[in-house]
Amino acid sequence: MLNIPLKDYLRETRIFNTRLGWAAIGVLVFTAILLARIVYLQVFDYRHYATLSQANRVKPVPVPPARGLILDRNGVVLAQNFPVYTLEIVPEQVDDMGELIADLSKLVRVTDGDQESFRKLRRERPRFESLALRSYLSEEEAARIAVRLPFLNGTELRARLQRHYPLGGLAVPALGYVSRISEQDLDRIDKTEYRGLQHIGKLGLESTYEGLLMGRVGVEKVEINAHGRSLRALERIAPTAGRNLHLHLDAKAQAVAEQALGNRRGAVVAIEPATGAVLVFASTPTYDANAFVNGIDQPSYSALIENPDKPLINRALNGQYAPGSTIKAFFGLADLEAGNSIDMNRQVFCDGSYNLPGSAHQFRDWKRGGHGAVTLHEAIVQSCDIYFYRLAVALGPERIKNFLAPFGFGLATGVDLPGESSGLLPSPEWKRARGQPWYPGDTVAIGIGQGLLLATPLQLASAIATVANRGARMQPLLLRAHSDARDGSQTALKPTTLDLVPVKDSRHWERLTQDLIDVVHSARGTARAIGANAPYRIAGKTGTAQVKSIAQGARYEEKETPERFRDHALFIAFAPAEEPKVAIAVIVENGGHGSSVAAPIARKVLDQIILGAPAAPGSIAVRPALAPTADQEE
Amino acid sequence: MGPSRWHVDKPLLYALLLLAAISLAIVYSASAKNESITIAHFVRMALGFMVLIAIAQMRPELIERAAPWLFGLGLLLLVAVLGVGAVSKGAQRWLGLGGLRFQPSEIMKIGVPLVLAWYFARGGLPPSWPRIAIALIITLVPAALIAKQPDLGTALLVVASGLFVLFLAGLPKAYIVGALALAAAAAPLFWSRLHGYQRNRVLTLFDPQADPLGTGYHTIQSVIALGSGGFYGKGWLNSTQAHLEFLPESSTDFIFAVFGEEFGLVGILLAIVLYGFIAARALLIAFYAQDSFSRLLAGGIALEFFIQFFVNIGMVSGVLPVVGVPLPMMSYGGSSIITLLAGFGMLMSIQTHRKIVEF
């Protein structure tokens, strides 16, 4: 049974048994130490500790701090704290519980479930404790109780602060929400810091800046009697309220963006080019963050999860899309920079299709029959595909990657939101690492922003902001400053430069900008519809990203394609073109054309930010959502 | 083999069942008669015992063969957990698997002694120094991953479990003395790398009154609970320290204080006898085991069980800093009960599958 020599076996047994003996002695000694300590505590020091236990009358009760507010750039409150009323009863002060509950039921609704959980509390908790009968009373219910409180023996009305998002679903992708502290949270937080607190930032800014928002818990030392009844407060260390967050976000522009997207699946991100300030961060469809604060009920949650439009996905942050023709804005600069690959005024003949040498596969232009002979300027303005197929092949995958990287493609922007996606800037090594060869066709597809290349709306906005800012890529940030809740003293965050796009000739920026202006403002530009009546000049690029590949020789017919396979509509822009105040990226999933669907949305948001008024007639108001009420009885 | 078809070690099983019963009673009391907590605790216990019985039926050879795979799997999951954690910021110890959540670090509490026993069984004892070095790497890599989560308590426990197996394998005395000297020398460095709150926990050990409402609070209240229990205790469900909510974490890390307050020295003596019996029985199984793998594994599991008991009670009675190690078989919550009982299942497998040959 053992294929080692007996002598070795015996030796090993001896070694092990000796060690085991030592271990047994260790176990005995350490147990003896514990036992001695416990005998000492329970026998010799018993009187001392029994007295302490009896006299253990000062109980530290945590006093929760108020969580910091979140305000937009104009002081519009996006997240606040709202008093929530709970109806409580102290059983020992009540003569006839049945009668009292019957009386209370006439004032506010008390369900059988409420009564059941109250009965359970009564069995479990001491008689002198205040036990909850109903939570989440509406203001009106609370008022009805408050008026009669003097006549209701043993009844208490407790107010507690709860997080509330007054604008409901507005800017949820940026704000995130707080929710009840879960078991997983308990695992990573310092529990003493959260004593008395029930909520924690789960997503978005509420999570990123949890440390600033939460404040510091205070302590009240309360004297209690032997049964645990509170007698009086002895001493109080006041809690420190959390710091208020002041965002770059513009709630009005955000509302315009969300309403312009409507029920469609899409995202809008607007950034101030010079600072990286995020002005709009929208993802639709949106949902009401208030539902999550106290734990969303299962049917509502299932409805959100099963909704085919996936409202819980943060499309602005995590939606990774093929940028489509919007990428041509950047390739335009690459072309100018490369200079030698395609001459400035050299024309490329676009006959509507492109073949790689020695291949029968046709890469088609979106315009059947092609654009004829086009210069770079015309190629950008009319979004000619053939020009950029050729350009991409001339540049090659390595140079494309090196050129696009400083614009932030393939790299998380580092915005102050958790869980950002990084998009994908593919390269032959990247593909090789996944065991696949790089095909020349991969390079061709990147030329028009299709294929492997993926970017988030935030990345696209940051990239076009970099163009507006003449190559200086600024760190996108939602937070402008945070302030002390008591004295209002502010600490502002400084804009930081992430990267500089190197250019050989700074005039290339002007030329590219002119090309992009002509996309919107020239007679043949793809986005001319939104430029027609604009009081300022917009530099932009449309994009229509293919979702489903079209068979060779077949044609894409929007009306005949099921909605989920229709093209994504994109538009990126900055304005005013001469002195950019805002850069924007818009995507509408399966929206169809960038020019007809995405660009008009961008125009509305740009109007709101630049002119301070929405473009369309009928004002879009920032209207507070109703406060949460447990029941709508009226 | 005995007349029973089931491979279980009855003395060990009965002792564990008795502890489980005590644990249920005390969790019920400490949680202020919370039925759902007690039921959840019961379910975990039941699941743990099922795992124990299942593992006890396997032959030790099978466990031995599975050892490196289990360790590898644990290591992979630990890396996965860190990956997920990096995305969501903050500490992340849990992996969700189709609704079930578990801590991969728990696997390592059993995985490290298992793989070391497997490793040392493949080479003579005592181990040569290159083999000792490899064993240390095997121990420290998962420990470092766990410490990064960060979960210092479990990381130290994993290190301890590795060192126990090394010790039992016959680590030369010179190494032990050298390591102790090195540890003493490195202590100041280690101290300087601790977080502020970790340092405070150690400091308050010497002077709990220094910060009576902060870090010292746990220790003060837990010692009062134990001390005021006296000889006979205050009786079941009568812990004022827990019920007036002076004692934090009363159903998890500090459950022994509630036990001591309600059942006094008499109860504690019974508990210590039970824990001592289990540890002794486990060491005896190690002694009777017939091959190096079984011996080292059994000894390692026995000592790991004991060290958790010692550290928890040391913490509750105020002789060790508050480090957040639950009391095995007693504390509520965590996947630790399952791992613990899985370990005892291995002990029973070793005990009940012995060859008849005696030397």
Cβ–Cβ gap A125/B246 under 8 Å? no
Chain B CA closest to residue A211? B90
User: Domain for residue A562, yes or no?
Assistant: yes
Given this model, what pLDDT does residue A554 score?
Answer: 59
User: Domain for residue A490, yes or no?
Assistant: no
Asked if A154 and A255 sit in the same domain, the reply is no
Pick B224's closest partner by Cβ from A13, A39, A49. Answer: A49
Give how far the C-alpha of residue B310 lies from the chain's centroid of Cα atoms, to the nearest Å: 10
CB A603 within 8 A of CB A615: yes
Q: Is the pLDDT of residue B246 over 80?
A: no
CATH number at residue A275: 3.40.710.10
Given this model, what pLDDT does residue A627 score?
Answer: 38
Pick A219's closest partner by Cβ from B168, B213, B223. Answer: B213
The parent domain of residue A158 ranges over 64-93+102-108+115-219+239-247
Provide ipTM, 2 decimals. 0.89
Residue tagged 């299932």 (tokens): A302
CB A229 within 8 A of CB A128: yes
Cβ–Cβ gap B313/A34 under 8 Å? yes
Asked if A386 and A289 sit in the same domain, the reply is yes
CATH number at residue A204: 3.90.1310.10
B230 at interface of A, judged by CB pairs closer than 8 A: yes
Given this model, what pLDDT does residue B207 score?
Answer: 64
Asked if A215 and A261 sit in the same domain, the reply is no
Asked if A453 and A544 sit in the same domain, the reply is yes
Separation in Å, CA of B269 to nearest CA in chain A: 8
Phi, psi of A183 (to 5 degrees): -60, -40
Of B8, B343, B325, the closest CA to residue B165 belongs to B343
Given this model, what pLDDT does residue A632 score?
Answer: 28
Q: Which H/E stretch holds residue A301? A: helix A298-306
Asked if A593 and A515 sit in the same domain, the reply is yes
Given this model, what pLDDT does residue B324 score?
Answer: 77
Q: What order do you get walking across the sheet with A230-237 strand by strand?
A: A58-63, A218-224, A230-237
Asked if A330 and A411 sit in the same domain, the reply is yes
Given this model, what pLDDT does residue B13 score?
Answer: 96
Chain B partners within 8 Å of A45 (Cβ):
227
Instruction: Check: pTM over 0.80? Answer yes or no.
Output: no
Segment 17-56 of chain B within 8 Å of chain A by CB: 32-34
Pick A56's closest partner by Cβ from B94, B224, B317. Answer: B224
Residues of A acting as catalytic residues:
325
User: Domain for residue A16, yes or no?
Assistant: no
User: Domain for residue A25, yes or no?
Assistant: no
Cβ–Cβ gap B279/A48 under 8 Å? no
Lowest mean per-residue pLDDT among A130-144, B54-68, B130-144: A130-144
User: Domain for residue A625, yes or no?
Assistant: no
Chain B partners within 8 Å of A305 (Cβ):
none
Chain A partners within 8 Å of B229 (Cβ):
42
Given this model, what pLDDT does residue A621 score?
Answer: 40
User: Domain for residue A391, yes or no?
Assistant: yes
Asked if A258 and A384 sit in the same domain, the reply is yes
Asked if A164 and A194 sit in the same domain, the reply is yes
Cβ–Cβ gap B317/A39 under 8 Å? no
CB-based contacts of B14: which residues, under 8 Å, 6+ apart? Answer: none
Cβ–Cβ gap A50/B227 under 8 Å? yes
| Mean pLDDT computed over B46-57 | 94
Chain A partners within 8 Å of B231 (Cβ):
42-43, 46
Asked if A410 and A351 sit in the same domain, the reply is yes
Residue tagged 């602060």 (tokens): A161
Chain B CA closest to residue A422? B87
Asked if A422 and A515 sit in the same domain, the reply is yes
Cβ–Cβ gap B230/A46 under 8 Å? yes
Chain B partners within 8 Å of A27 (Cβ):
276, 279-280, 283, 303, 306
Of A270, A172, A282, the closest CA to residue A609 belongs to A270
CB-based contacts of A451: which residues, under 8 Å, 6+ apart? Answer: A322, A426, A441, A442, A444, A445
User: Domain for residue A538, yes or no?
Assistant: yes
Which residue ranges of chain A lie beneath pLDDT 70?
Answer: 1-7, 56-57, 126, 225-230, 340-345, 548-561, 613-634
User: Domain for residue A293, yes or no?
Assistant: yes
Separation in Å, CA of B11 to nearest CA in chain A: 19
Asked if A423 and A559 sit in the same domain, the reply is yes
B11 at interface of A, judged by CB pairs closer than 8 A: no
Pick B124's closest partner by Cβ from A8, A17, A34. Answer: A8
With cut-offs at 50, 70 and 90, classify the pLDDT of residue B99: very low
Asked if A209 and A289 sit in the same domain, the reply is no
Domain count, chain A: 2
Separation in Å, CA of B81 to nearest CA in chain A: 13
Pick B303's closest partner by Cβ from A23, A54, A219. Answer: A23
